[in-house]
Amino acid sequence: MTAIRRIDGFAWLAAPALVYLGLLYAIPLALLLFKSLSSAGSFPSFAGYAEFFGDEFHLNILWRTLRVALLVTGLSLLLAYPTAFVLARARGALQTVILVAMVLPLAVGVVVKTFAWSILFRSDGLLNKMLTGLGIADEPVRMLFTETALVIAAANIFLPFMVLPIYAVVRQLDPRLVEASATLGATPLHGFFRVVVPLTLPGVVAGTAFVFSMAVSMYVIPSLIVGERSQTLAMLIARSYLFLRDEQLGSSMSAILLLIAVAVVLGSSALIRRLGGGRT
């Protein structure tokens, strides 16, 4: 009974944060969902959802948004996985330098980092000057306002959110696991993929959920890298509110985007619990 009272007392410490989240997030989201289901005084109304799913243009933007988010997540994972191992195995000053290189960009605003990439991707930018200077290209290559540029820039900006969860798991692993599997007849490659990789899956799943949730809802990065030529769902939501003045359609698309993000978070949480239970 004393332990229960102690837990209840500590639970009150979370009350200010819960009130803060309720006022600034829960209530606005509830109003958003209500707006998406109301039309001309009638409730519930699914006119906004019917308009969205009944328009091929909207469906193409939804598919483009999901495709870009998957590509950004995949590229981030490809770069982050070996980086996390290097960071976990490094020692002393080298580990500090790599960790600072991962964390320090988080202190820089997304707008600043995106502008930097837009400058690099320009026709007279550093990348094109290097390509023409090395003779790889005879003339500047069109990079800006392309989906490839968007994926590269977004993966760079979101990379720390993939590296750090994987690093948190890898640093707890015994580096001798591969050697131990070799005593049982496993090759180094077989031991890595059958022993080490499964143990790092919780970090991979957490990092994937973080990056995908941010990539699927990003607005600033595609606005500056691709502009109106290749809209994403977040850009279309802003256009519905700011230019079309169609609040129900904007609210419906916002609810769809929120549902995708929540589904990813809940699915990843369930998968992490399952992976953790499988090891115990």
Q: Does the structure show a pLDDT above 70 at 13?
A: yes
Q: Indicate which CATH number applies to the domain containing 64.
A: 1.10.3720.10
Q: What is the pLDDT of residue 277?
A: 59
Q: What is the pLDDT of residue 165?
A: 93
Q: Are residues 136 and 198 in the same domain?
A: yes
CB 258 within 8 A of CB 83: no
pLDDT in tens, 183-213: 777 777 877 888 888 889 999 999 999 999 9
Q: Chain centroid to CA 92: how far?
A: 30
Q: What does the H/E/C string look like for the chain?
A: CHHHHHHHHHHHHHHHHHHHHHHHHHHHHHHHHHHHCCECCECCCCHHHHHHHCCHHHHHHHHHHHHHHHHHHHHHHHHHHHHHHHHHHCCHHHHHHHHHHHHHHHHCCHHHHHHHHHHHHCCCCHHHHHHHHCCCCCCCCCCCCCHHHHHHHHHHHHHHHHHHHHHHHHCCCCCCHHHHHHCCCCCHHHHHHHHHHHHHHHHHHHHHHHHHHHHHCCCHHHHHHCHHHHCCHHHHHHHHHHCCCCHHHHHHHHHHHHHHHHHHHHHHHHHHHHHHHHHC
Q: Which domain holds residue 223?
A: 45-279
Q: Are residues 30 and 68 in the same domain?
A: no
Q: Are residues 25 and 70 in the same domain?
A: no
Instruction: pLDDT band for 245, please (50, 70, 90 cuts).
Output: confident
CA distance 23 to 18: 9
Instruction: pLDDT band for 1, please (50, 70, 90 cuts).
Output: very low
CA distance 180 to 174: 10
Q: What is the pLDDT of residue 153?
A: 93
Q: Are residues 22 and 58 in the same domain?
A: no
pLDDT in tens, 48-68: 888 889 889 999 999 999 999
Distance between start and end Cα atoms, the chain? 29
Q: Are residues 158 and 239 in the same domain?
A: yes
Q: Are residues 29 and 110 in the same domain?
A: no
Q: Does the structure show a pLDDT above 70 at 106?
A: yes
Q: Does the structure show a pLDDT above 70 at 41?
A: no
- What are the tokens at 60? 């193409």
Burial of 99 (0-12, 13-18, 19+ CB in 10 A): middle
Q: What is the pLDDT of residue 9?
A: 66
The count of structural domains within the chain is 2
Q: Are residues 171 and 261 in the same domain?
A: yes
Q: Are residues 113 and 139 in the same domain?
A: yes
Q: What is the pLDDT of residue 7?
A: 54
Averaged confidence pLDDT in the chain:
85
Q: Are residues 253 and 122 in the same domain?
A: yes
CA distance 34 to 142: 44
Q: Are residues 26 and 142 in the same domain?
A: no
- What are the tokens at 108? 């820089």
Q: Are residues 8 and 117 in the same domain?
A: no
Q: Are residues 139 and 6 in the same domain?
A: no
